[in-house]
Structure 1
Amino acid sequence: MIGPMPSLPIPMIGALVLFFLFLRLWITQGRISPLAILIALCAAQTAIIALAQHYLVPGTRLVQPITATLIPPAAWLAFQITAVRPARRADLLHGLVPVTTLAALLTAPAFLDVLIPGLFVVYGAAILLATMAGPDAQPRAALESGAWPAQIWRIIGIALIASAFSDLLIIAAQAAGAGYLQPWIISLYSVGNLILIGALSLSGHLQSGQDRGDDQQAPSAPPDGALWARVEHYMDAQRPYLDPELTLSKLARRLGVPAKTLSSTINRATGGNVSRYVNTARIEAAQEALRSGETVTGAMLSSGFYTKSNFNREFLRVTGMTPSAWRDAQAPQGL
């Protein structure tokens, strides 16, 4: 007689999805990046939740709070290293977070009810505050993506904060005599946030475009007016915007100035951020290509864009028309 087949709970399905996303990012990049590590941790945590809550595997309930506290610092470091700055030795201090959690688990388990939600809120709020400074505050993000990296990281920050409230929902359910809802809250709410964080981490908008050189410290900048003249000359002569992986950090390094100084100079001179300035130059190059008879896809690739959605968005912003409509409008009208 064949027994019942084992069920596959929602957290385990989520873990498998996240593990697939981790493998995809690893294979695509050819290395394990901070974003891949974040996805892997989300996958591991959802699997541990399934083993602890649904399969009741001994010991997993003790591991669950420790692995949970790996995710907030991993998200913060992934944000910093892919969007803001190179990795630093001081980043290792974030390893104290799971160590503190282990100490609390062994000496004061009740403190975990405050510590774990607090960590998610603190790190989530830190990401939110950092993204409020605008896209120029993320010099390692590809300029082609515009404001998308900041917006995606903002959602990840909100998801971290939202994850902290799962315990409050469980307490409220128990107080209302609905303790049977606890597995559903864990499965749908907590795991849902982990899947959201992992899936967003896979976005191409978050992939860092830095190279080895952008880790170098730039010298002091010349006066603002002279710097703007240098920027205009460099853009016209070297056309760095044709590099689809151009970042503020790369552009600043090539000009030999600090990224913040370059950002401020372009902001004051154009009234917009660096991403808009660079993408406007790209659209002008795309218009030249379209006038010469290039296809829309060819114009996109030759002007420094590598995603059609970004190209269409920026073309519409600059010209008020889609690339195809603009090209058709340039054609000679028959008599």
Structure 2
Amino acid sequence: MLALPIPMIVALVLGFLFIRAVLSGDRPYLFCALLAICALQGVVVSLHQHYGIAALLAVQPITATVIPPLAWVAFQATAIRRFDLARDAVHLAVPVFTAFCMAFAPDTLDVVVPAVFLVYGGAILLRLRQGPDGLPLMRLETGPLPGLVWSAIALALILSAVSDGLIAVALATGRGWLQPWIVSLLSSAALFSIGLLSLSQSVVGAPEERTAPQAPRPDTGDPAAEKDLMARLDTLLRDSALYLDPGLTLARLARRLQVPAKQLSATINRATGDNVSRYVNGFRIAHACERLRAGDSVTAAMLASGFNTKSNFNREFARVTGMSPSAWQTRDTT
């Protein structure tokens, strides 16, 4: 009976998910690339560690160090800013440097490879400390979910670094027999987690508007200027019913108001105590209450109010009203 090692099983699952993502066409190409490289790494690890193909020893660290910079570029391009080839291509230097180390200083790889995973995982976590408003391309209706998913991806990168460190310690202390177990359990778990998490719809940002950028207004910190900005924001949301668009992002709002995204989020926070997502979702929940009062079903009210998923809708509805949509509808009709 054919028995497949865990890394190969992980590779096959991720490969299947990659093919499905490509055929469905609903995933950004950077996420598809991340799935593909995770699947490839599973194959490389399996063929080297479990099937004894020694030639792949020189390939394994290079393909491994493609994953963290690719995850970082996907994070930047879908959550923070549009992909910029000239700016993002610099991350290709990471696997190139790894190849250089493999050729001329292979002993350094025990430090280089874990360091790459730690640095990129830590960079993602550091950026996420800014909260949901630090991800201006994320759809506001998703709330904190993108941050949670990206945190999990960052932790998976760090887990991979830990597994590499444990392998180095095992080899240095004469416990090389532990290496296949560490690879099969920790490394494969990290690859599998990164691949699966990249499929979450919460981390797919909305397309950024392609209109010509306007000259931003200065952030003076003046209370009168902030009051004016909030008035313009409320007018924009109410007159255009922009909050009903499930693809609405902080970047799009800021572009419409001709202010930097950081300025807009800071102004909303100071004026209301809420982040941008919660502020806009307040408009959405008020609209959903109107639809429920008019007799719409919970699902119809959700879709008509700018939400794509019930989990996000139920979470925000409970936050604003203190009860579930069905309980609110029942109370309002009795």
TM-score (norm 1): 0.93
> Structure 1 residue aligned with 2:104, among 92, 107, 118?
107
Aligned partner of 1:251 in structure 2 is: 253
| 1:83 paired to 2:85 | no
2:210 counterpart SS class: helix
> Does the Cα contact within 8 Å between 2:27 and 2:204 map onto a contact in 1?
no
How far apart, in 2, do the equivalents of 1:31 and 1:300 lie? 24
How far apart, in 2, do the equivalents of 1:127 and 1:139 lie? 15
| 1:44 paired to 2:44 | no
Alignment of 1:279-318 (within 5 A): 279-318=281-320
> Does the Cα contact within 8 Å between 1:142 and 1:209 map onto a contact in 2?
yes
Q: Which moved more, 1:163-172 or 1:75-84?
A: 163-172
Aligned partner of 1:160 in structure 2 is: 157
> Does the Cα contact within 8 Å between 1:144 and 1:244 map onto a contact in 2?
yes
Structure 1, unaligned runs of 5 or more: none
| 1:73 paired to 2:74 | no
Cα displacement (A) at 1:256: 2.4
Aligned partner of 2:176 in structure 1 is: 179
Aligned partner of 1:60 in structure 2 is: 56
Q: Which moved more, 1:128-137 or 1:224-233?
A: 224-233
> Does the Cα contact within 8 Å between 2:133 and 2:275 map onto a contact in 1?
yes
Aligned partner of 2:29 in structure 1 is: 33
> Does the Cα contact within 8 Å between 1:169 and 1:185 map onto a contact in 2?
yes
Structure 1, residues 61-87: CA drift from partner, whole Å, max 9, x if none? 111010001011001101100000011
> Structure 2 residue aligned with 1:219, among 190, 209, 215?
215
2:59 counterpart SS class: helix
How far apart, in 2, do the equivalents of 1:91 and 1:247 lie? 22
Name the CA shift for 1:179/1:50 in 2 (closer, same or farther; >3 Å): same
Cα displacement (A) at 1:30: 4.9
How far apart, in 2, do the equivalents of 1:313 and 1:54 lie? 46
Structure 1, residues 285-317: CA drift from partner, whole Å, max 9, x if none? 000000000011100000000101111111111
How far apart, in 2, do the equivalents of 1:274 and 1:30 lie? 26
Structure 1, residues 172-199: CA drift from partner, whole Å, max 9, x if none? 4446654322111101101111111111
Alignment of 1:230-245 (within 5 A): 230-245=232-247
Structure 2, unaligned runs of 5 or more: 219-224
How many residue pairs get aligned? The number is: 327
Q: CA RMSD in A?
A: 1.6
TM-score (norm 2): 0.93
Name the CA shift for 1:118/1:218 in 2 (closer, same or farther; >3 Å): farther
| 1:11 paired to 2:24 | no
> Does the Cα contact within 8 Å between 1:141 and 1:247 map onto a contact in 2?
yes
Letter in 2 for 1:34: L
How far apart, in 2, do the equivalents of 1:84 and 1:147 lie? 15
How far apart, in 2, do the equivalents of 1:244 and 1:29 lie? 19
Aligned partner of 2:330 in structure 1 is: 328
> Does the Cα contact within 8 Å between 1:11 and 1:50 map onto a contact in 2?
yes
| 1:197 paired to 2:213 | no
How far apart, in 1, do the equivalents of 2:200 and 2:153 lie? 12
Cα displacement (A) at 1:21: 2.1
How far apart, in 2, do the equivalents of 1:178 and 1:131 lie? 38
Cα displacement (A) at 1:24: 2.9
> Does the Cα contact within 8 Å between 1:38 and 1:71 map onto a contact in 2?
yes
> Structure 2 residue aligned with 1:98, among 75, 95, 100?
95
How far apart, in 2, do the equivalents of 1:202 and 1:319 lie? 31
> Does the Cα contact within 8 Å between 1:210 and 1:249 map onto a contact in 2?
no
